[in-house]
């Protein structure tokens, strides 16, 4: 597994171990245990011998796309943190004497670009903005694994809901203070999934050999920003009357990031995941937010 310290990885790792799997972590820093393996995507180095005979690989590493203003240097880092690591990992796995059966490799619903209310499935074409171009290159970097006969599942992840991290955590304080509100028109779609469903979906994909190719990891009922805002206000018992002012956000994060990630959106449906037999724990945004905020991690 790569990205084991991230929001998804830190939840997936203990679930895998609880199910009896031995997890080998690819880490950039000093190994913390005997199951840690060093790699350095920037330098193009990896301990390939330590990966011989693994059954499956989950690749989640990549720099945060919404953490800092999109300067040219930051955009290059976001792109290369995905393509370099994915390419290195895919080529390494393809060259093993005993390669894994499966590679679950990260991507995002940003693949589709800003599509307004258009219903998007895994068969929909990519968009043209920076996140879309990044996702296209990211997914292409994993191709050597598929070319070598490894089952490649590319997970196009939506907004992952967890009270202790990610986008929702950043929203909680203003909403708790009664300052939360819709962003822009509120008509843009937010394709979301709870952290619990995301983890369970990855486990499902690892154990379902009939699935390959892109898979949208999003709940079946995407919400508009206005619907999401009302649901979060209701869950916290707070008003959501005033729209969120965009100018302070644009000063802090830049106009391109704010417009692309907050004002625009995607209405992505999990057609491939549901067709494979996966059953969602949370399908509707109201029940999802209530469950997430009531979870022990939300304390």
pLDDT digits (tens, 9 = 90+) for 16-57: 999 999 999 999 988 888 899 999 999 999 999 999 999 999
| Domain-located, residue 34 | yes
Q: What is residue 64's predicted lDDT score, i.e. its pLDDT?
A: 92
Model confidence over 96-139: pLDDT tens digits? 999 999 999 999 999 999 999 999 999 999 999 999 999 999 99
**Separation CA 30–CA 107 (nearest Å):** 27
- Indicate whether 299 pLDDT > 60: no
Average pLDDT value for the chain:
95
| Domain-located, residue 229 | yes
| Domain-located, residue 2 | no
| Domain-located, residue 217 | yes
Backbone dihedral angles phi then psi of residue 270, each to the nearest 5 degrees: -85, 60
| Domain-located, residue 1 | no
| Domain-located, residue 240 | yes
Residue 270, domain extent = 7-298
pTM score, whole prediction:
0.95
> Could you give the number of structural domains in the chain?
1
Give the CATH number of the domain where residue 109 resides: 3.40.50.720
Q: Can you tell me the mean pLDDT for 211-227?
A: 98
Which is nearest to 25 in space by CA: 9, 11, 41?
Answer: 9
**Separation CA 1–CA 16 (nearest Å):** 10
| Domain-located, residue 65 | yes
């Amino acid at each position: 597994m790569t990205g084991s310290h991230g929001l998804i990885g830190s939840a997936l790792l203990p679930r895998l171990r609880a199910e009896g799997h031995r997890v080998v972590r690819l880490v950039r820093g000093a190994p913390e245990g005997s199951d840690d393996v060093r790699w350095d995507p920037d330098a193009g180095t990896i301990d390939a011998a330590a990966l011989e005979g693994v059954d499956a690989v989950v690749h989640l590493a990549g720099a945060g796309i919404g953490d800092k203003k999109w300067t040219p240097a930051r955009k290059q880092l976001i792109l290369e943190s995905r393509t370099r690591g994915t390419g290195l990992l895919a080529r390494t796995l393809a060259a093993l004497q005993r390669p894994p059966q499966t590679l679950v490799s990260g991507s995002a619903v940003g693949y589709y670009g800003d599509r307004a209310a258009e219903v998007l499935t895994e068969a929909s074409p990519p968009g043209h903005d920076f996140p879309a171009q990044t996702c296209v290159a990211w997914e292409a970097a994993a191709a050597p694994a598929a070319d070598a006969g490894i089952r490649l599942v590319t997970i196009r992840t939506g907004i992952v809901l967890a009270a202790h991290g990610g986008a929702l955590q950043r929203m909680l304080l203003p909403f708790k203070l009664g300052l939360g509100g819709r962003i822009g028109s509120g008509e843009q779609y937010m394709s979301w999934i709870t952290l619990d469903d995301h983890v369970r979906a990855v486990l499902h994909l690892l154990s379902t050999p009939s699935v390959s190719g892109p898979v949208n990891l999003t709940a079946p009922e995407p919400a508009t920003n206005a619907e999401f805002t009302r649901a979060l206000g209701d869950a916290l018992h707070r008003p959501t009357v005033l729209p969120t002012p965009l100018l302070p956000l644009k000063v802090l994060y830049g106009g391109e990031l704010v417009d692309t990630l907050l004002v625009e959106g995607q209405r992505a449906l999990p057609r491939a995941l549901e067709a494979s037999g996966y059953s969602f724990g949370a399908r509707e945004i109201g029940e999802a937010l209530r469950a997430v905020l009531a979870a022990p991690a939300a304390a």
